[in-house]
Structure 1
């Protein structure tokens, strides 16, 4: 049977600041992110199976991505936990704002790596994460592809 790729798309709003950066993005700002999640697998062929013909139910994929990425990052502000922004983060948290202190500089490149790890660990054994595309603006995105990352692909 053929291996098929399916893609589900997501949107969320996230703020961040790039500590030590030499441009405007060192300031706290936000993006309307667009995340495309592509998985690969073989469609179910068991006669009578409730999900006959599907690689994975889009609803099941949506649940995973929402729980691992969207629900956490939507309307949150992400800071590198090793930056001086930690004081600002604590102040924002004390005022009821959602803050994520990441182990990395919160660039689109690092965020898409983080998202790939989060999503991969939740997929069924017969399904692999094929790629992620995280669009930060209408003209800029970072892309993670399993074939380029064999050590981290599930």
Structure 2
């Protein structure tokens, strides 16, 4: 697994959890300005998720690492991202499967899960690395998304 330091989020929570994972997926960007990326191509995406909170659950976890992996890996690994119609679509550029939108969408899916937990941890950021030299960090604005 890729081991490196990630951009840090300043916060006042007692606990911070980071989960690294990767998945292989293909995508294309359905816009004329996307150049070669208009063609179907694949990546091994590396993802880092930062979750923080003050309270642990009844198992002593902020959140179970496996739950985070399930939300991301089992949803996207070995898929064509454009086929994930609940997350992406080809008619709205805000929902094209670009690295920026993938990072935001992962955050939204994780946030939806975390808000259902009694201890209410928060996803502070999602980093998605598409290539060895290119990555995106998504952080929701403090007042919401």
TM interval, shorter chain, is 0.7 to 0.9
Say how many residue pairs are matched: 123
> Which TM-score applies when normalising by structure 2?
0.74
- Superposition map of 1:14-93 within 5 A: 14-22=25-33, 23-42=35-54, 44=56, 50-51=59-60, 54=61, 56-57=62-63, 60-63=64-67, 65-79=68-82
1:50 CA drift (Å):
4.7
Q: 2:111 aligns to what?
A: 120
Secondary structure of the corresponding residue to residue 116 of structure 1: helix
Is there any run of 5+ residues in structure 2 with no aligned partner, and where? 1-11, 90-94
Label 1:5 to 1:18 Cα distance change in 2 as closer, same or farther (>3 A). Answer: same
Q: 1:132 aligns to what?
A: 126
Q: 2:144 aligns to what?
A: 151
> Which TM-score applies when normalising by structure 1?
0.70
Q: Is the 8 A contact 1:68 1:118 kept in 2?
A: yes
Q: 1:109 aligns to what?
A: 100
Over the aligned positions, Cα root-mean-square deviation in angstroms equals 2.3
Q: How far apart, in 2, do the equivalents of 1:150 and 1:10 lie?
A: 28
Secondary structure of the corresponding residue to residue 81 of structure 2: strand
Deviations 1:82-111, CA, capped at 9 Å, x for gaps: xxxxxxxxxxxxxxxxx3232311101011
